[in-house]
Amino acid sequence: MPRPRFATADAALRQNLLDAARDEFASKPYEAASLNRILLAAGVSKGSFYYYFDDKTDLAATLFLELAKPMATIGEFERPSSPAAFWAEMHRISYARLKDIESMRTEYECVMRIASAIATDEALRDRVMPMFAPGRAKMMELLQAGVDVGALRSDLPMPALMQLLQDVKMSLFKSLYPADHVLSEAELRSFTDLVIDLAKRISASPKGGTP
């Protein structure tokens, strides 16, 4: 994490730095993102930067947490008592998150890039992972409820299913909409419908259908 001073630093500096970092990390893989370029774009000197941060990793972790926190939050949900209720809940969450994504596309790209670096960069992982446990746990809780209520197949490990549904969504999103496209309300709805329909198909138990 950054030095506590960063919280009280000049607002413009804060903003410029984080914006520049977001753009850089969004456009290049973590290892190829350049701190010098970030500082240049932000108009912040080396001295100032290292006055607030430990190192490059520190900046990435800070940025990641700032951007990913809202994305990982799913809010409160009612424990569903039927498959229909479960899918309604999933639809709601999926729609809400999608709204985030389409309005924060480069943020999302940035988060994904840093996230994929986490797998290999130990320092990054240590600073970032803990903050994510709550969100994941909550999502798991909802999915478990889905299993309990018979909406989700139980023959696959839940993390695998979770990841799969996420990947399906991203795959389609990338395929269907060009990088700079801003979705209309209608597109947003129809895309959500499509994704949830696929999620239902994928998640139904192998032998019997979803009743």
Please state the closest distance from residue 44 (CB atom) to DNA, in A: 6
User: Which of 65, 112, 188, 202 touches its own copies by CB under 8 A?
Assistant: 202
- Which residues neighbour 103 within 8 Å (Cβ) at sequence distance 6 or greater? 182
Cα 152 to Cα 123: distance, rounded to the nearest angstrom: 36
**Angle at Cα 80 formed by Cα 145 and Cα 197, nearest 5°?**
85
Q: Out of 5, 7, 31, 186, which residue is the one contacting its own copies (CB under 8 A)?
A: 31
Decide whether 181 or 201 has the Cβ nearer to its own copies.
Answer: 201
Task: Check residue 184 for interaction with its own copies (CB under 8 A).
Answer: no
In contact, 161 and 143? CB cutoff 8 Å: yes
Chosen from its own copies, DNA, none, partner binding at 176 (C-beta under 5 to 8 Å by type): its own copies
Is there binding between residue 140 and its own copies (CB under 8 A)? Answer: no
How far, in Å, CA of 133 to CA of 171, rounded?
25
In sequence order, the 6+-apart residues with CB closer than 8 A to the CB of 199 are 87, 90, 94, 165, 168
Per-residue tokens: 93: 């969450």
Q: Does 3 bind its own copies (CB under 8 A)?
A: no
Tokens read off for 65: 């947490």
Taking CB under 8 A as the criterion, the residue among 3, 10, 12, 28 binding its own copies is: 28
**In the set 10, 96, 167, 182, which binds its own copies (CB under 8 A)?**
167
Contact between 36 and its own copies by CB under 8 A: the answer reads no
Task: Give residues with Cβ within 8 angstroms of 4, minimum separation 6.
Answer: none
**Contacts to its own copies by CB under 8 A:** 28-29, 31-32, 157, 159-160, 163-164, 167-168, 170-172, 174-176, 197-198, 201-202, 204, 206
